[in-house]
Amino acid sequence: DTEVTQTPKHLVMGMTNKKSLKCEQHMGHRAMYWYKQKAKKPPELMFVYSYEKLSINESVPSRFSPECPNSSLLNLHLHALQPEDSALYLCASSQMRLMGRNTEAFFGQGTRLTVV
């Protein structure tokens, strides 16, 4: 099973709302990622969790707040977003190997976020 499950599939939120995106995997992967993807562009890395600890934050604005409650779950808390934050938000996971050679990342189907 190489499935990464993201909920919800679609989300419309106002600029004053607080919402959360959820991601779950049961492959035993210890690296989990959040990516943002705009139309006709490649995914852009936002955050990486390694062994449930935040290891990479790509200078993402504080209105995006990641959380990794356990090795299977990853959340992205959203607050006071802007219309330009509308995008496809992708979660991914990969196995961690020795010497940092992580295996391929498996992606979820994404959450289509629209900020109005």
Partner 1 sequence: EDQVTQSPEALRLQEGESSSLNCSYTVSGLRGLFWYRQDPGKGPEFLFTLYSAGEEKEKERLKATLTKKESFLHITAPKPEDSATYLCAVQAFKTSGSRLTFGEGTQLTVNP
Stretch that binds partner 1, among 14-22, 41-49, 61-69, 76-84 (CB under 8 A): 41-49
Quote the least distance from Cβ 10 to partner 1, whole Å.
10
Q: Does 60 bind partner 1 (CB under 8 A)?
A: no
Phi, psi of 95 (to 5 degrees): -80, 145
Q: Using CB under 8 A, count the residues that bind partner 1.
A: 32
Which segments within 1-116 are labelled E, that is strand? Answer: 4-7, 10-13, 18-25, 31-37, 44-50, 53-57, 64-70, 73-79, 87-94, 106-107, 111-115
CA dist 114 and 116 (Å) reads: 6
Q: Does 41 bind partner 1 (CB under 8 A)?
A: yes
Q: Does 71 bind partner 1 (CB under 8 A)?
A: no
**20 versus 37: smaller Cβ distance to partner 1:** 37
Q: Does 104 bind partner 1 (CB under 8 A)?
A: yes
Residue whose token pair is 């959380």 = 67
Beta bridge partners of 106: 93
Q: Does 109 bind partner 1 (CB under 8 A)?
A: yes
Which parts of 77-96 interact with partner 1 (CB under 8 A)?
Answer: 88, 90, 92, 94, 96
Tell me which DSSP letter residue 63 carries: T
